[in-house]
Homo-oligomer: A and B are copies of this chain.
Amino acid sequence: MPKFSPLRIISWMALLVAALGIVAQPAMAADAKKPRVVVAVFTKDTARQDLLMRNLQNLHKDRPQATIEVVAFGPGLSLMTRKVDGSDNSMSKSVAALSEAGVKFLACGHTMRAMKISKDDLLPNVGVVPSGIVHVVDRQQEGWAYFAP
A90 vs chain B, min Cβ distance (A) = 18
Q: Mark A11-50, 1 if CB is under 8 A from B, else 0.
A: 1111101110110000000011001110010100001100
Contact (Cβ within 8 A) B59 A133: yes
Closest Cβ of chain B: how far from A130's Cβ, in Å? Answer: 7
Q: Are A12's CB and B15's CB within 8 A?
A: no
- Chain A's interface: helix, strand, loop or mixed, by majority? helix
Is A141 part of the binding interface, using a Cβ–Cβ cutoff of 8 Å?
A: yes
* Residue contact B37 to A55, C-beta cutoff 8 Å: no
| A contacts with B, residue count (CB < 8 A) | 54
| A109, chain B: closest CB distance, angstroms | 9
- A35: shortest Cβ distance to chain B, in Å? 5
Q: Is the CB of A51 within 8 A of B74?
A: yes
**Contacting pair B149 A146 (CB below 8 A):** no
Can you name 22 A-B residue pairings with CB atoms under 8 Å? A10-B15, A17-B19, A31-B141, A35-B134, A36-B141, A37-B137, A42-B48, A42-B149, A51-B75, A54-B110, A54-B114, A55-B73, A56-B133, A59-B131, A62-B130, A62-B134, A63-B137, A66-B137, A73-B149, A137-B147, A140-B146, A141-B145
